[in-house]
Structure 1
Amino acid sequence: MDAALGPPEAMADSEGDLTPMMSQYFELTRRYDDALVLFQVGDFYELFCEAAEAAARICEVTLTAREDSTGRYPMAGVPIDNAEPYIEDLLDAGYRVAVADQVEDPDEVSGVVDRAVTRIVTPGTITEDELLAGADNNFVAALASDQVERRATERTSGDSREYTGGGFGLALLDVSTGDCYATSLDDETRVRDELGRFAPAELVVGPGVAPDRFADEAFVAEYDDSAFEHASARERVASYFGSVDALAADAEVRACGALLSYAEYTRGGEGHQRLEYLNHVTRYDPREYLQLDAVALRSLELFEQRSVHGANGTALVDVLDETACALGRRELTDWLRRPLVDREAIEARHDAVGELVGDPLTREELHEHLRNVYDIERLVSRVSRGRANARDLRSLKDTLDVVPEVRGLLSNADCEKLRDLRAELDDLPEIRDLLDSAIVPDPPQELTEGGVIRDGYDDDLDALRETERSGKAWVDDLEASERERTGVDSLKVGNNAVHGYYIEVTKANTDAVPDDYQRRQTLKNAERYVTPELKEREEEIVRAEQRAQDLEYDLFCEVRDRVAAEAERMQNVARALAALDALASFATVAAAHDYARPEVGGDGIHVEGGRHPVVERTEPGFVPNDTDLTDDRRVAVVTGPNMSGKSTYMRQVALIVLLAQAGSFVPAADARLRVVDRIFTRVGASDDIAGGRSTFMVEMTELASILRAATDDSLVLLDEVGRGTSTTDGLAIARAVTEHVHDEVGATTLFATHHHELTADAERLPDAVNLHFAATRTPEGVTFEHEVSEGAATASYGVEVARTAGVPDDVVERARELLDAPEPAAEEDTASERSEAATSDDGAASSDLAERLADVNVAELTPVEALNVLNDLKRDI
């Protein structure tokens, strides 16, 4: 962000000469120096000086100039009625935006109109539909370090020991829906895992947390450190949720309190507007869910597939998304982001999906009803913040009308999950009746235009409207009566905003004008008049019209407030509808694509005819494969040619496990699956040049995280570990990793490799197995079978793959010659001579090697050290 967005130095020196309006603008820029201030001037939001130049460049609007006694300086503006696209551009460029609206009626103020910042728009706190990215959650997060709190406690108690722990409290909030979560995390790695899981648009960090440590995971925002102080945070949390009992640690309290403070700040600037619709926080332990770090989320392509040739592909969520409403889409995403680990909870979802699969009529009717459900979580948010219009309230009413229909559909549900969701469907009859009686079926967009409240809802409003209607009817009849009275057939009765009602007579007929006509306006070819009776009627109509509009707005606000008072009940309904939609989506996909109900809680991963849920949709002729991984077959070394399907197969296994624990049926003929606690992936090549890390360093960093964190209940996918360095080093690392995972970690592991030496390890290790993908070489090239079989592959067919990829023929042929040629005789002779020399000199070399071997303590060597010793001996020999 630009550092200087206030007045230029020359203006700052003469601020006493600034106009009152510009003084007001620059005062706001100083107060909100971390944001671009959009300053309302009439129908536009204006920016000045450096801020104007920045906005003009980013938003591609015209840069103009303003001139006053202090000089000439840049100015740029955007229309208020269409400000959202420009605000989005500024957010994308890394700015916060402070919106300063006029808070006084210009017609009632003498002098400069007062302005105040009414909201601060940041990436994580947007609530406007035009700025939100579809139905998905938009989280803002706050991170507090428990190190700060412990040091404060130690100072208070006189304990001078330095606390070196690394615990954190993390809170997340979607301001647009009211979803709020909190948890505690042991270290920065866990923090990154959760940030990767929730993908917050913005992260507020507290004292003791270095902002740049998490800059790769979210846009890091600065905020007042005092918001993280325990006392103020505790008070704020209690004011929303009654107490802090839902939170398990002081760091969680401080993170949650600071997050609420930040959300309030963005709602009302210095006024700190409360989020009245926020009534509960969900405290969770990441271990309650199958944990997926950012690497796994990316490599399994759950929510975003990596682009291929510049085009985005299909992600897992897209092939599973048969939801009918925005609520269901968010719920489905959350279930994939946080699959379950509790067997009973998983099976409860499977029961519901199975019942809906077996009852297509109910499933289809449920889908049709849910299509009429609006995003009531965001509607309730707008209602509670006083930003909902009449159309929002009608949308809310239409959604509540669906609830009785859905309850009826589920009246005969067999499974407990569907019965429980039915019980949560409160149709709020009093709110439905209120909205039906108060709001017209098709209200206007603007509240100030009138025509929002239904006739019959309020007697006083009805009387005012009748006065207005009867007055206008009298005016409508006036034209005919005055034509008859004056004999002027061209006489007209009209009305405009400036002069009100008038009688218009052409100048050729002014001699026929009666004595009681009073001239109101002269036109080029006509005169406009008013009569005492018309003036009286006009005052009556205008008075009734204005009073009706004022009363109607007050009545609407009263209705909106009554609806807001039931926010918690409506949010409960939203959660039930969301879960039903997600379950129906799982069932629709299962029925359409032949998914099977998995059996969970077994002793391994047993899959018959497993398929990759995304690839099978995009690749015709997809070949299903079996998987059989148990405690005595928990490490599988997978070999085979490039393009044979190794990586797809490994991801397929992981996705089948993930889908089962999310509550979905799985793409397979049959599946019996253990419940896993984490899925780790080391798949694909990437680097971090900006961070000074090579592809190999990134690979080793990810590998280190896996080896430290994986348990015997984890599923690990390793693809070509060790390929970023020399063949010798890479093989040594690969073999050592295989042994460590087998002997120490105990995780269920699929290890795809081109190091065929690993197949010997798989044969040697008691709980390992070799799997391979076969290929057939023909005169035309290589045919990939895409079918997994027991045993090791015999070749990699790299040269054939190079030819298929379009490598020039002369390069391919030369590679084949080098591959097939025996070692040159001269090199063999030289090697022989070296061998003889090594054993000459009265056996001195042999004796030296023997001594070195005798000094090796095999029992204390790690696998990597043993391989290095062996490599040194081989080189010397």
Structure 2
Amino acid sequence: MDPALGPPEEMAEKRDELTPMMRQYHDLCARYDDALVLFQVGDFYETFCGGAEWTARLLEIALTSREDSTGEYPMSGIPIDNAESYIETLLEAGYRVAVADQVEEPGESPGVVERAVTRVITPGTLTEDELLASDDNNFVAAVARGDGGGARSGGEGAQDRENATTSANAADGEDVAETLALALLDVSTGDFLATSSNSSETIADEISRFDPAEAVVGPFASEDVLPDDCMVTPFDPDAFELARGTDLLSSYFGDPDALLAADAEIRACGALLAYAEYVRGGEHEGERGETERETADDDREGFAAVDDPQRTRLEYLTHLTRYDPREYLLLDAVALRSLELFEPRAVRGHEDATLAGVVDETASALGGRKLRDWLRRPLLDPDRIESRLDAVEELTGDVQTRESVHDLLRDVYDLERLIGRISRERANARDLRSLRDTLAVIPTLREHLDDCECERLERLFDQLDPLSDVRTLVDDAIVDDPPIEITEGGIIAKDYDGRLDDLRSSARDGKQWIDDLQERERERTGIDSLKVDYNSVHGYYLEVTNPNLESVPENYERRQTLKNAERFVTPELKDREDRIVSAEERADEREYDIFCAVRREIATEVERVQRLAEAVATLDALVSLSTVAAQYDYCRPEIDGCTGGMDGGGEGEPGLEIEIEGGRHPVVERTQESFVPNDVHLSRDQRLAVITGPNMSGKSTYMRQIAQIVLLAQVGSFVPANSARLTPVEQIFTRVGASDDIAGGRSTFMVEMDELATILREADDRSLVLLDEVGRGTSTADGLALARAITEHVHDVVGATTLFATHHHALTELADDLEAAFTLHFEVGQDDGDVVFRHEVAPGAATGSYGVEVATAAGVPGDVVDRARELAAETDGDELEAEGTLGDERAVDRRVPDGSTATATADGGDVPVDVAAELRSLDLAHLTPVEALTELDRLKRLLEE
């Protein structure tokens, strides 16, 4: 066990001898043995023993010690006022944190102050604003496996193809593969999603989409589907039982059979809900003590019990959405990284150089999360895409409405997280005012949308519920600028509660009496310097300086002696103080009770607030897309209906149609001073483009911009192009760039082959595939052979629409051999002998790779470049022979007895030695690229004769 977790061994051995406070700490560590316990002592959260040593190093704080009758213990602590920043570091280091607060004031009861864990903080169940990213969801996941039932009838939405196949096989009496289910929950917003598949790859892809920070995994479900950076939390296996899940889900959402499509989904959702209830269990202002946990049936180690009595119902979870992955464009983890949707591949000062970064002009946290969700799950249904495009088009054309709405949305607070805190009883009075201020914006938003014509905006107008009753309640009950603390008064507005007003009046009248007392006593005693004052220790007092002590009346009772004065009280002053303090305490208590009642009343409207939040988020995302379209000259794409596929799914011929005129890379054009637009025309008859050209000419940018334009179009966004027309793509696969997996024992080439295997296995005729420099990680002959075999398979068997960038110029011959293949190249010019990259795509094959010239431009030392030219002159001939003859006549290099190089062809003939000799004699270092190509063409014709 981690030395920072669990009860300290030195305490466990002598628990009964510990002081009461240290015994509390020991017992909490034993109860929460999978978390680091932060134990409140005064104004600090302390850790002891091994936990102290560990946190001192990790948090870079002082390590001190505590000594009592049983010994000396290492101790380190963090200030409560700044705890969140330290807790964030602990979470990033992979810890769960249990916060043990003092749940009673010192002196309220005899003995040690009672402490209880009021929060269990884990990476996936955060609700604290200070620890959350406002522009994205923070998901915790559950993965569960069904036991024999597989898919089942019921559930909203179409089941995915694997589940449909499973049901058919079951009807025929065939063996049925078990279903793997995924549940996802954002505890801070209440977003709750579920899906399932018979394919673990599909579930892994979905997990990559949502990138959960934490996961619980059911019995027999492998953790292999989770990314390496996802924390796996042990949890009671009983929570994954079907009956338990059914009962728990029914208590929240009704019959789960009407919502979910597989037993495994019920297991995953039920366990995830139980886990969230457990983690958030102690949140309610610390009102419940640790003693309530003592009845928990938890004799297991390493996880919480599903029957733990501290589990708390999460009333703000009002909807569970079952979705089918096949309703959205599939983007696996590799594609997400390659296309830089959310994270740049190389930062270098461009942290926001992502697709999300360039299209996110949202004004609120709500809109930011909604837009990222749209990017994470682009649509397939043309009607849904067109609905969004209609709204974007209208907002793009109506500048006044777009800008006015955007300005109003800046004043919108995060309604989803606000209502979550309100429902969990964690909201303070300022949160209620934030809700009120957001609701105040809604009527004006409705006014701006009142004249909108498209159906989507009309629906949003209807969904913008101003919640006037909630706004009025907060206006009437809560002062305009309330304090943060909700137990110290000053939060309830005047005239809201008569009894509270009376208590305040009594306290106010008493204070006025005390204010008048000073003048009365000065007149009565003749002591002009006498003053009446107050402090928290001695209460109200009359202070008389030493020279005037002879004039003190007999009814003055001495309370405190100072160096230059004495302080006194009178029976009347003490009585008035008791009445004032009593009135203030009762007023504070009543204010707290009223506030809690107002908060509970607002919590009953959670569904209305969540519906409003959804409408506001959607509007913000649409305004963002229209703002980007207007500012950066995007066009509306034309979306064709689905053409169907090779497996008979729909009518029409298989394949995709993608036509883009003047397309631009949405990210690169923002980071470069200029950008050269390019066209693309892909169809069933021309679906495999072999793209050649030098390094730095723009091949990778070109391929990625096509994929990003397609993705944006299916999000419902305008796109960076002069015009665009496309059929919805169902999957985008990428094999782009070099990367390795040293920890996993995989070389760069092995990673490349793994990714290619996935593409060849899962892609189909409705997929867009990007292949960049396939086969460059091995020998020229092997690489070329692999590249050609892969290309032929993609063309003949997979049928995917493919962009294949390569330096293997022999592959350009595929355009003659494969019916739907064609070649493109990036043109290169020369300026005084220097290579000039024009970044313009044109039909046909490139004339060279210009690797040495690129090295020169990159600043490689001149002597290295010169030597490279010499070596190229010696070796390019052999490589070109291999590339030029690898086709129907597969070439194999061999050495002839005299040491010279010859090439044996498939029919057993040898290439004439004189050609090889001529190649070796060429002085490539002094040939221009055009001259070198001329020589190559001449020698190639000799070989063909």
CA distance in 1, matches of 2:568, 2:389: 79
Q: 1:228 to 1:838 in 2, by over 3 A?
A: closer
TM-superposition CA deviations, 1:120-148 (whole Å, max 9, x none): 11000011011112331110000001247
Question: Whole-Å Cα distance in 1 between the matches of residues 445 and 131 of structure 2?
Answer: 31
Determine the structure 1 residue equivalent to 2:757: 704
Within 5 Å, give how 1:518-597 maps onto structure 2. Answer: 518-597=557-636
- 2:150–2:179 contact (8 Å) kept in structure 1: no
Aligned pair partner of 1:744 in 790, 797, 803: 797
Structure 2 Cα separation of the partners of residues 148 and 34 of structure 1:
33
- In structure 2, relative to structure 1, the CA distance for the partners of 1:751 and 1:829 (3 Å cut) is closer
> 1-side partners of 2:413 and 2:901: how far apart?
85
After superposition, residues 616-655 of structure 1 pair within 5 angstroms as: 616-655=669-708
8 Å Cα contact 1:325-1:373 kept in structure 2? yes
Q: What residue number does 2:722 align with?
A: 669
Question: In structure 2, what is the equivalent of residue 867 of structure 1?
Answer: none
1:264 maps to which of 277, 280, 299: 277
Find the counterpart in structure 2 of residue 187 from structure 1: 199
DSSP-derived class of the 1:786 partner: strand
The 2-side partners of 1:37 and 1:149 are apart by 41
Q: Deviations over 1:619-671 (max 9, x none)?
A: 11200001111110111000000000000000000000000000100000111
- Could you say if the C-alpha distance between residues 532 and 710 of structure 1 is closer, same or farther in structure 2, counting changes exceeding 3 Å? same
> Residue 263 of structure 2: which of 235, 250, 258 is its match?
250
83-92 vs 630-639, greater mean Cα deviation: 83-92
Superposition deviation, residue 501 in structure 1: 0.9
Q: Which amino acid aligns with 1:204?
A: V
Show the counterpart of 2:834: 781
Equivalent residue in structure 1 for 2:485, among 446, 450, 459: 446
> 1:41-89 CA deviation, whole Å, 9 max, x = no partner?
2222211111111111111121111122221121111222221111111
Distance 1:572 1:335 in 2: 18
Paired with 1:463 and 1:829, the residues of 2 have a C-alpha distance of 105
Q: CA RMSD in A?
A: 2.4
Q: Secondary structure at the match of 1:305?
A: coil
Write the mapping of 1:856-867 to structure 2, written as runs, cut at 5 A.
none
Identity rate, percent: 64
Q: Structure 1's 352 and 22: CA in aligned 2 closer, same or farther, altered over 3 A?
A: same
| 1:829 Cα deviation after fit | 14
The 8 Å contact of residues 240 and 271 in structure 2, kept in 1 or not, is answered as yes
1:300, 1:655 within 8 Å by CA — same for their partners in 2? Answer: yes
Superposition TM-score, scaled by structure 2 size:
0.85
Return the structure number with greater helix share. 1
Q: In 2 relative to 1, CA 243–739 (structure 1 residues): closer, same or farther, beyond 3 Å?
A: same
C-alpha distance in structure 2 between counterparts of 1:430 and 1:256, whole Å: 34
Residue 391 (structure 2) aligned to one of 352, 357, 360: 352
Pairing of 1:373-772 with structure 2 (within 5 A) = 373-601=412-640, 604-772=657-825
| Equivalent of residue 340 in structure 2, options 262, 287, 301 | 301
The yes-or-no answer on 1:208 pairing with 2:220 is yes
3-state DSSP of counterpart to 1:81: helix
1:706 positional shift: 0.8
- What TM-score results when the alignment is normalised by the length of structure 1? 0.92
- The alpha carbon displacement at 1:16 in A equals 2.0
1 CA distance for matches of 2:474 and 2:499?
19
| Structure 2: unaligned runs, 5 residues or longer | 152-172, 283-307, 642-655, 882-892, 910-945
Measure the CA separation in 1 of the matches of 2:451 and 2:6.
66
Gaps of 5+ in 1: 152-160, 847-877
Structure 2 distance, partners of 1:610, 1:413, is: 30
Task: Kindly provide the amino acid, as one letter, of the partner of residue 559 in structure 1.
Answer: V
Residue pair 2:391, 2:456 contacting (<8 A) in 1 also = yes
State whether residues 124 and 138 of structure 2, in contact with CA within 8 Å, keep that contact through their aligned partners in structure 1. Answer: yes
Distance 1:710 1:817, change over 3 A: same
Contact 1:336 1:659 in 2 (8 A): yes
Moved more, 421-430 or 578-587: 421-430
How far apart are 1:11 and its partner, in Å? Answer: 3.7
Write the distance in 2 (CA, Å) between the matches of 1:228 and 1:684: 41
Residues 550-608 of structure 1 show CA distances to partners (whole Å, capped at 9, x for unaligned) of 00000000000000110111000000000000000000000000000000116511111
Instruction: Answer with 30-39 or 8-17: which moved more.
Output: 8-17
The Cα of 1:198 is off from its aligned counterpart by: 0.3
- Does the aligned pair in 1 maintain the 2:66–2:72 contact within 8 Å? yes
| Residue 308 of structure 1: how far off its partner (Å) | 4.3
Q: Alignment partner of 1:447: what SS?
A: coil
Q: What letter matches 2:828 in structure 1?
A: A
Residues of 2 paired with 1:550 and 1:835: CA distance? 99
Is the Cα contact below 8 Å between 1:373 and 1:402 reproduced in 2?
Answer: yes
Equivalent AA in structure 1 for residue 462 of structure 2? A
Name 1:869's counterpart in structure 2.
none
Deviates most, 246-255 or 67-76: 67-76
Instruction: Render the CA deviation track for 1:177-230: whole Å, top value 9, x for unaligned.
Output: 111100002222112211110011111111112335525252211111111111
Distance, in Å, in 2 between the alignment partners of 1:793 and 1:4 is: 61
SS of match in other structure, 1:386: coil
Equivalences for residues 148-297 of structure 1 within 5 A: 165=177, 167-211=179-223, 214-216=226-228, 218-244=230-256, 245-268=258-281, 270=308, 271-297=310-336
Q: 2 CA distance for matches of 1:5 and 1:738?
A: 54
State which drifts further: 32-41 or 806-815. Answer: 806-815
Question: Alpha carbons of 1:367 and 1:838: their partners in 2 closer, same or farther (altered >3 Å)?
Answer: closer
Deviation per CA, 1:79-106: give whole Å up to 9, x if none.
Answer: 2222111111111111111112223333
Q: Is the 8 A contact 1:147 1:163 kept in 2?
A: no
The 3 A distance-change label for structure 1 pair 675 and 522 is: same
Name the counterpart of 1:854. none
CA contact (8 A) 2:428 2:484 kept: yes
One-letter code aligned to 1:190: T
Match status 1:49 vs 2:49: yes
Q: Which amino acid aligns with 1:533?
A: E
Tell me if structure 1 keeps the 8 A contact 2:216–2:235.
yes
Aligned length: 832
How far residue 674 of structure 1 moved from its aligned partner, in angstroms, is 1.0
Secondary structure of 1:572's partner?
A: helix
Q: Distance in 2 between matches of 1:567 and 1:178?
A: 10
Residues 662, 215 of structure 1: alpha-carbon distance in 2 compared, 3 angstrom cutoff: closer
- Please give the alpha-carbon distance, in whole angstroms, between the structure 1 residues aligned to 2:237 and 2:867: 66
Answer whether contact 1:11 1:70 (CA < 8 A) is retained.
Answer: no
- Give 2:27's aligned residue: 27
Change (3 A) 1:519 1:142: same
Distance verdict in 2 for CA 1:514–1:333, change over 3 Å:
same
SS in structure 2 of the partner of residue 766 of structure 1? coil
- Give SS of 2:129's match: coil
Which residue type is aligned with residue 224 of structure 1?
A: D
Larger CA deviation: 96-105 vs 795-804: 96-105
CA distance in 2, matches of 1:139, 1:482: 66
SS of equivalent to 1:493: strand
Q: Is the 8 A contact 2:181 2:264 kept in 1?
A: yes
Alpha-carbon shift at residue 309 of structure 1 (Å): 4.8
- Per-residue CA deviation, residues 420-443 of structure 1 (Å, 9 max, x unaligned), is 111111111111110000000111
Residue pair 1:148, 1:208 contacting (<8 A) in 2 also: no
Question: In structure 2, the residue corresponding to 1:631 is in which secondary structure?
Answer: coil
Shift of 1:543: 1.1
Give the counterpart of 1:361 among 400, 408, 414: 400
Rounded Cα–Cα distance in structure 2 between residues aligned with 1:553 and 1:59? 36
Aligned AA (1:537): R
